[in-house]
């Protein structure tokens, strides 16, 4: 029990403390230059990286957003969880599209060597392209959609970038179905539908879920980029706006939020994945 | 005084009794085979002798000294070969030898390693990596490594279980030969009555768990060296083979519980899936028979 | 006399990077209805290839396989196959694994009748209390019991057993041989089993077909095993004849299996 506490609580906390103190050490600090009489003549920042907000500044400045996480004071001035919620909704939509296209595509690739030879090189070329590169193309594609063009372009980017891990893992999973299982299906003369639902899909599920988890991670990466470029309200949009507004504390605050949400999503998917791996 | 001595040894895992009141004493130079069903505590027993597990109660002593942990005086060979995949045959064995005999100089160690590689007939393959060897060859390396550290007692835990019949037979002969010439004290764990009869001086069956224990010892008074083809003619071999097999089978019949349950086997015939699907009740064997009668 | 299963001049060739490799050549064998035959040979001699061609899982390169008057061209549930690894689908319970096949071949029957068949055979192989467990929760031996139940439940014309007990320890093997023999006797099935275990072959079969080593493996010899049925292991172990036959088979495996029979050498039939 104590060993557990030490490994999972104390040690990570020590790590966080070390990073916080290094950050605080190099960050800037506001000082007031006073004249002989004690009157303030100038306000300036000193330190190794003077413009980097320190821990205390970041905390105090972010507090309103944490205290009222669902507040809506204006389009770009909302509680942090409200921003996160906007982003999550968009990610959910884009991710759903990615899975709906990705799983069948993965099955085709896994089942048909011809299909693989035809499209695999193309996929390998498109796969490493950054979300930032896809977004402008999305904006062009949906230019005529009017005010919603930004949303469609974001969905396009998320779906396109998030799809590949699902496609590739599903394909690998289908190819890895043991010949023995397929033989069972052949001996029993299972129909195509039964072959798919009783043998192929259950056998591929563990691989598919690995793909799903990786896809979700990439979708979450893509949303931040998409929001920054389109200026939509959300965790990424907030970050970009605060950069433009020169409130640097909020940039750090946004980064931490995005990271935490990403971590939570990954953990949730890992739980689901583990469940499926355990049962099959 | 026995060389290896187990007194009233019991072991359970999480409330499940695996072994109860195991008593075993082995003289120096004796080859004892413990035969039993898989999953009945054979590996637990050998792990306690090896010092990898502690008994819940009872004592395990080697030459009068209680066993408290693993040590090079007991050499263990498992079913999986546990060779380091990035080291060659020679290096795998040399590593163990360096560990156990650090006081030796390099040429002595080298000669020692070479001697044991030659003993298992692998001199031609001493610079190969484990992945370049067949299963039988890997198990030979494993045996050579264990013998090279010159343990006082050799513990073989189903060493040949993963090999095919032919390789298994070859290795049985080799292990038999080596153990005899080295005069080692050996405990062999196996599920094969033939293997036990070929190699051992004594066979001890392990009963069926939970709470398995050792059964009555069967002395194997067959002349050595034993030849598997000649043994086949030997009336004593046949008698022992039947005796041990029957003893093991009788353990099993006590395990089987007869349950009475009402079972119904419907009298229906399978459909021919090469033909298009039909929509009618299933054909029944009783109907088929009556048809035959009318034709006749 | 017309045979239930007739294999004539069977050839199997695999393409390899070094050119075609003929694994089996001129393999002839006939099985009477209700007969239990084992094919014995060293591992890799092509005995499993023959079995998988009868099962229709592997294409025939040359020759003909006729089962109950019909040429075998594809796989189907009229041949119940028991594989070496039981090949149960891990995401289904033992019961569901058996039901998968039953739902196929008894599709005209009612749900109740289909369930009854599965329960009947699963109980017969000793899985009455664990039929709703997944393969992961079953021991090796229990999984293979389920594999046997699955094969018998479909009421196939014949059984094909590909070293079904090869992965079990020798004592669990004994139990399963009895389970198999019991069902075989009850259902009067024609059975062909591939093994390399001499004792298993003698205990189970009416005839033992000895195969020569590959490549170009073929029937080297056939041994008739005339022990009365039902057999018990105890009775066999005390029979001097058993040791004579055992030695005959071991001698074949050790010495004679390495040579193909001569050109005009029809395999000699050894009379027991």
Q: Tokens for B225? A: 């060296």
Is A199's Cβ below 8 Å from some Cβ in C? yes
How many CB atoms lie under 10 A from the CB of residue B195? 24
User: Is the CB of B243 inside 8 Å of chain C's CB atoms?
Assistant: no
Question: Which CATH number belongs to the domain containing residue B192 in this structure?
Answer: 3.40.50.300
Q: Is A187 on the interface with C (CB under 8 A)?
A: yes
pLDDT band, residue C264 (cuts 50/70/90): very low
Give whole-number Cα distances, B268 to A8, B222, B264, C152, in Å: 61, 56, 12, 14
**Phi, psi (deg, nearest 5) at residue A74:** 180, 175
Do the Cβ atoms of A231 and A237 come closer than 8 Å?
Answer: yes
Question: Any CB–CB contact under 8 A between C57 and chain A?
Answer: yes
Q: What is the distance of C-alpha C62 from the center of its chain?
A: 22
Of B259, B271, B278, the CB nearest to C106: B271
Distance in angstroms (rounded) separating the CA atoms of residues C120 and C95: 11
From the list B164, B259, B281, which residue is nearest C43 (CB)?
A: B164
What is the rounded distance in angstroms from the CA atom of residue C41 to the CA atom of residue C117? 35
Which pLDDT belongs to residue C119? 92
Between chains, do C91 and A184 touch, taking CB under 8 Å as contact?
A: no
Q: What is the average pLDDT score of chain B?
A: 84
Higher pLDDT, A104 or B180: A104
Can you give the pLDDT at residue C269?
45
Select the CATH number that applies to the domain covering A72-279 from these four: 1.25.40.80, 3.40.50.150, 1.10.3720.10, 3.40.190.10: 1.10.3720.10
Closest residue, chain C, to B163 (C-alpha): C167
Chain mean pLDDT for chain A: 88
Which residues does residue A33 pair with via DSSP β-bridges, in sequence order? A42
Q: Using alpha carbons, select from C162, C160, C211 the residue that is nearest to residue C190.
A: C160
Q: Identify the weakest region by mean pLDDT among A35-39, A189-193, B250-254, C233-237.
A: B250-254
Local confidence band at A115 (pLDDT 50, 70, 90 cut-offs) = very high
Residue C255 has pLDDT above 50, yes or no: yes
Domain ranges of chain A: 2-52, 72-279
Q: Could you tell me the sign of the dihedral formed by the alpha carbons of A233, A236, A238, A244, in that order?
A: negative
More confident residue, C256 or A96: A96
Q: What is the pLDDT of residues B29-62, one digit of tens each?
A: 899 999 987 777 888 898 899 888 889 999 999 8
Contact, C192 vs C51, CB < 8 A? yes
Q: Give the relative orientation of helices A131-141 and A201-230 as an angle to the nearest 10 degrees.
A: 80
Q: How far apart are CA A225 and CA C55, in angstroms?
A: 57
Chain C contact for B275 (CB, 8 A cutoff)? no
Distance of residue C175 Cα from the nearest chain A Cα, in angstroms: 25
Residue B188, beta-bridge partner list: B33, B156
pLDDT in tens, A24-60: 999 888 888 888 887 877 888 888 888 888 888 889 8
B160 touching chain C per CB within 8 A = no
Of the candidates C109, C170, C196, the beta carbon closest to that of B268 is on C109
Q: Is position B286 within any domain?
A: no
Interface test with A, best of C91, C151, C160 (most A CBs within 10 A): C91
Q: Which two tokens stand for residue B24?
A: 């075993």
How much of chain C exceeds pLDDT 90, in percent? 44
Please state the φ and ψ torsions of residue B172, each to the nearest 5 degrees. Answer: -60, -45
**Mean pLDDT, range B145-169, rounded to an integer:** 83
Distance CA B250, CA C224 (A): 30
Confidence at residue B289, expressed as pLDDT on a 0 to 100 scale: 53
Domain assignment present for residue B115? The answer is yes
User: Is the residue at B166 inside a domain?
Assistant: yes
SS3 of residue A280 by DSSP = coil
Neighbours of A194 (CB within 10 A): 16
> Which residues from C are below 8 Å from B278, CB to CB?
108
Tell me the residues of chain C between 119 and 158 that have a Cβ less than 8 Å away from chain A: 134, 154
Radius of gyration from C-alpha coordinates of chain A: 25
Are the beta carbons of B100 and B149 closer than 8 angstroms? yes
pLDDT, tens digit, 9 for 90 and up, residues C16-32: 888 888 888 899 999 99
In this predicted structure, which of A140-149, B95-104, B194-203, C193-202 has the lowest mean pLDDT?
Answer: A140-149
Mean pLDDT over the full length of chain C = 87
pLDDT at B294 over 70: no
Residue (of C187, C219, C272) closest to C7 by Cα position = C219
Q: Taking CB atoms and an 8 Å cutoff, what residues of chain B touch C175?
A: 252
Tell me whether residues C100 and A180 touch, CB distance under 8 A: no
**Maximum distance among all alpha carbons in chain B?**
94
For residue C44, name the pLDDT band (cuts at 50, 70, 90).
confident
Total number of domains in chain B: 1
Asked if residue A6 has pLDDT above 80, the reply is no
How many Cα atoms occupy the beta-carbon half-sphere of A107 within 13 Å?
Answer: 15
A195 and C CB contact within 8 Å: no
Check whether A208 has a pLDDT greater than 90: yes
Chains adjacent to C (≥3 CB pairs closer than 8 angstroms): A, B
Distance from CA of C166 to the nearest CA of B (A): 9
Residue C100 has pLDDT above 80, yes or no: yes
What is the CA C224 to chain-centroid distance, rounded?
17
Structural tokens at position B218: 């069967």
| Tokens representing residue B97 in the block | 């030898």
Q: Which of C171, C237, C240 to probe by mutation at the B interface, max B CB count within 10 Å?
A: C171
pLDDT at residue C265 is higher than 60: no
Q: Return the higher-pLDDT residue of C267 and B261.
A: B261
d(CA B44, CA B231) in angstroms, rounded, equals 32
- The two beta strands, A40-46 and C269-270, are unpaired
Give the β-pairing of B202-205 and B218-219.
antiparallel
Q: Which residues, numbered 178 to 217 in chain B, qualify as contacts with chain C under a Cβ-Cβ cut-off of 8 Å? A: 191-193
Return the pLDDT at A126.
92
Q: pLDDT tens digit string along B73-106?
A: 888 887 776 788 899 999 999 999 998 899 999 9
Enter the tokens of residue A150.
């930004």
Indicate whether B272 belongs to any domain.
no
Give the neighbours of chain A: at least 3 Cβ pairs within 8 Å: C
B242 closest CB neighbour out of C170, C238, C250: C238
Q: Which residues of C114-136 are buried (b: 16+ CB within 10 A; e: fewer)?
A: bbbbbbbbbbbbbbeebbeebbe
Chain B residues within an 8 Å CB radius of C142:
none
Q: How far separated are the first and last CA of chain A, in Å rounded?
A: 31
Compare all CA atoms of chain A with the CA of C88 and give the residue at the minimum distance: A181
Contact indicator for B22, B45 with CB cutoff of 8 Å: yes
A212-244 pLDDT tens trace: 999 999 999 998 888 888 878 888 888 888 888
> C183 vs B264, which has greater pLDDT?
C183
Residues of chain C positioned with their CB less than 8 A from the CB of A198: 89, 92, 100
Which of B187, B226, B237 has the alpha carbon at shortest distance from B35? B187
Chains sharing 3 or more CB pairs under 8 A with chain B: C
Across the interface, of A187, A199, A202, the residue whose CB is closest to C75 is A187
Per-residue model confidence as pLDDT tens digits over B187-235: 999 888 889 999 999 999 988 877 888 888 899 988 888 888 788 778 8
Q: What distances in angstroms separate CA B44 from CA B3, B12, B59, B81, B83, one per listed residue?
A: 20, 10, 15, 18, 22
Give the contacts of B239 (CB within 8 A, at least 6 positions apart).
none
Helices A248-279 and A201-230 cross at an angle (nearest 10°) of 170
Q: What is the pLDDT of residue A1?
A: 52
Return the structure tokens found at C149.
């139940």
Tell me the whole-structure pTM to 2 decimals.
Answer: 0.78
C246 to chain B nearest CA, in Å?
8
Sign of CA dihedral B15, B17, B21, B23: negative
Helix (H) or strand (E) run with residue B189 in it: strand B185-190
Predicted confidence (pLDDT) at residue C266 exceeds the cutoff of 60 = no
Residue B142 is part of which domain span?
4-253
Complex ipTM more than 0.85, yes or no: no
- What whole-number distance in Å separates Cα of residue C121 and Cα of residue C99? 11
**Residue B158 domain-assigned (yes or no):** yes
Please check the confidence at residue A172 and state whether its pLDDT lies above 80.
yes
Q: How confident is the model at residue A166 (pLDDT cuts 50, 70, 90)?
A: very high
Give the residue-averaged pLDDT of B167-183: 83
Residue B281 counted as domain residue: no
Residue B255 has a pLDDT of 58
CA B211 to chain centre: 20
In chain A, which ranges are E strands?
Answer: 29-34, 40-46, 72-74, 77-78
Q: Do B273 and C105 touch (CB under 8 A)?
A: yes
What is the C-alpha separation between B127 and A128, in angstroms, rounded? 43
Q: Cβ–Cβ of C104/B273 closer than 8 Å?
A: yes
* Interchain contact A30–C (C-beta under 8 A): no
Question: B282 in a domain, yes or no?
Answer: no
Residue C83 in contact with partner chain A when CB distance is under 8 A:
yes
Listing DSSP states for chain C in one string gives: ---SEEEEEEEEEEEETTEEEEEEEEEEEEE-TT-EEEEE--TTSSHHHHHHHHTTSS--SEEEEEETTEE--S--TTEEEE-SS----TTS-HHHHHHHHHHHHTTTS-HHHHHHHHHHHHHHTT-TTTTTS-GGGS-HHHHHHHHHHHHHHT--SEEEEESTTTTS-HHHHHHHHHHHHHHHHHHT-EEEEEES-HHHHHHH-SEEEEEPPSSSB-EEEEEE----SS--HHHHHT-HHHHHHHHHHHHHHHTGGGSPPPTT-PPPEEP-
Residue in A225, A217, A214, A222 with CA at minimum distance from that of residue A262: A217
- Burial class of residue C207 (count of CB atoms within 10 Å of its CB; 0-12, 13-18, 19+): buried
What's the pLDDT score for residue A45?
84
Q: Which of B129, B109, B150, B1 is nearest to B64 (CA)?
A: B1
**Residues within 8 A of C (CB atoms), A 38-97 only:** none
């Amino acid at each position: 029990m104590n060993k557990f506490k030490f490994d999972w609580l104390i040690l990570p906390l020590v790590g966080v403390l070390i990073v916080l103190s290094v950050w605080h050490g190099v960050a800037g600090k506001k000082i007031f230059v006073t004249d002989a009489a004690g009157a303030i003549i100038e306000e300036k920042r000193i330190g190794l990286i003077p413009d980097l907000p320190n821990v205390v500044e970041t905390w105090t400045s972010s507090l309103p957003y944490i205290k009222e996480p669902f507040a809506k004071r204006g389009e770009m001035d909302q509680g942090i969880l409200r921003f996160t919620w906007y982003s999550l909704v968009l990610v959910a939509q884009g991710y759903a599209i990615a899975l709906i296209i990705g799983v069948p595509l993965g099955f085709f690739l896994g089942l048909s060597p011809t299909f693989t030879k035809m499209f695999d090189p193309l996929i390998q070329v498109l796969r490493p392209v950054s979300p930032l590169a896809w977004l402008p193309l999305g904006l062009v594609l949906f230019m005529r959609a009017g005010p919603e063009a930004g949303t469609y372009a974001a969905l396009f980017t998320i779906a396109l970038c998030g799809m590949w891990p699902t496609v590739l893992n599903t394909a690998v999973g289908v190819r890895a179905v043991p010949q023995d299982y397929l033989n069972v299906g052949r001996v029993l003369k299972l129909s195509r539908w039964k072959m798919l639902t009783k043998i192929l899909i259950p056998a591929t599920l563990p691989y598919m879920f690995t793909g799903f988890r990786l896809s979700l991670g990439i979708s979450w990466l893509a949303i931040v980029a998409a929001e920054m470029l389109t200026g939509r309200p959300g965790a990424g949009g907030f970050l970009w706006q605060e950069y433009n507004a020169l409130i640097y504390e909020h940039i750090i605050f946004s980064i931490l939020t995005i990271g935490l949400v990403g971590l939570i999503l990954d953990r949730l998917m890992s739980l689901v994945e583990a469940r499926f791996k355990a049962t099959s | 005084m026995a060389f290896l001595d187990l007194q009233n040894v019991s072991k359970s895992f999480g409330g499940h009794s695996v072994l109860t009141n195991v008593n075993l004493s082995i003289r120096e130079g004796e080859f004892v085979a413990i035969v039993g069903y898989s999953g009945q505590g054979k590996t637990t027993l050998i792990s306690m002798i090896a010092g990898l597990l502690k008994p819940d109660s009872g004592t395990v002593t080697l030459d009068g000294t209680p066993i408290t942990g693993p040590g090079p005086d007991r050499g263990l060979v498992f079913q999986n070969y546990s060779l380091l995949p990035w080291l060659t045959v020679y290096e795998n064995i040399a590593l163990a030898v360096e560990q156990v005999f650090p006081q030796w100089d390099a040429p002595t160690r080298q000669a020692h390693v070479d001697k044991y590689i030659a003993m298992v007939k692998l001199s031609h393959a001493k610079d190969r990596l484990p992945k370049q060897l067949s299963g039988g060859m890997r198990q030979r390396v494993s045996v050579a490594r264990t013998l090279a550290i010159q343990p006082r007692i050799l513990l073989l835990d189903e060493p040949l279980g993963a090999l095919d019949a032919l390789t298994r037979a070859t290795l049985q002969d080799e292990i038999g030969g080596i153990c005899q010439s080295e005069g080692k004290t050996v405990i062999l764990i196996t599920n094969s009555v033939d293997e036990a009869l070929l190699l051992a001086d004594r066979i001890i069956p392990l009963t069926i768990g939970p709470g398995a224990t050792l059964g009555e010892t069967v002395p194997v008074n067959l002349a050595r060296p034993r030849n598997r083809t000649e043994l086949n003619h030997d009336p004593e071999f046949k008698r022992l083979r039947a005796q041990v097999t029957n003893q093991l089978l009788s353990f099993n019949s006590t395990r089987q519980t007869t349950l009475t349950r009402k079972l119904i086997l419907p009298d229906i015939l399978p459909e021919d899936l090469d033909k298009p699907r039909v929509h009618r009740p299933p054909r029944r064997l009783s109907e088929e028979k009556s048809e035959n009668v009318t034709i006749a | 006399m017309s045979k239930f299963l007739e294999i004539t001049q069977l050839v199997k060739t695999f393409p390899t990077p070094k050119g075609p490799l003929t694994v089996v050549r001129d393999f002839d064998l006939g099985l009477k209805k209700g007969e239990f035959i084992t094919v014995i040979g060293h591992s890799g001699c092509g005995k499993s290839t023959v079995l998988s061609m009868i099962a229709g899982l592997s294409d025939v390169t040359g020759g003909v396989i006729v089962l109950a008057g019909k040429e075998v061209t594809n796989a189907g549930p009229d041949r119940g196959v028991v594989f070496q690894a039981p090949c149960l689908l891990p995401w289904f319970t033992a019961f569901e694994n058996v039901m998968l096949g039953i739902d196929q071949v008894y599709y005209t029957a009612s749900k109740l009748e289909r369930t009854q068949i599965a329960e009947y055979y699963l109980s017969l192989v000793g899985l009455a209390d664990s039929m709703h467990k997944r393969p992961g929760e079953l021991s090796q031996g229990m999984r293979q019991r389920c594999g046997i139940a699955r094969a018998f439940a479909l009421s196939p014309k014949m059984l094909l057993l590909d070293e079904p007990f090869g992965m079990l320890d020798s004592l669990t093997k004994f139990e399963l041989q009895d389970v198999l023999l019991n069902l075989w006797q009850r259902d009067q099935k024609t059975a062909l089993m591939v093994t390399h275990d001499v004792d298993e072959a003698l205990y189970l079969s009416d005839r033992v077909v000895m195969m020569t080593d590959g490549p170009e493996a073929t029937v080297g010899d056939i041994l008739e095993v005339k022990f009365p049925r039902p057999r018990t292991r105890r009775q066999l172990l005390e029979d001097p004849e058993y040791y004579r036959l055992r030695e005959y088979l071991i001698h074949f495996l050790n010495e004679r299996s390495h040579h193909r029979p001569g050109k005009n050498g029809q395999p000699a039939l050894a009379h027991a």
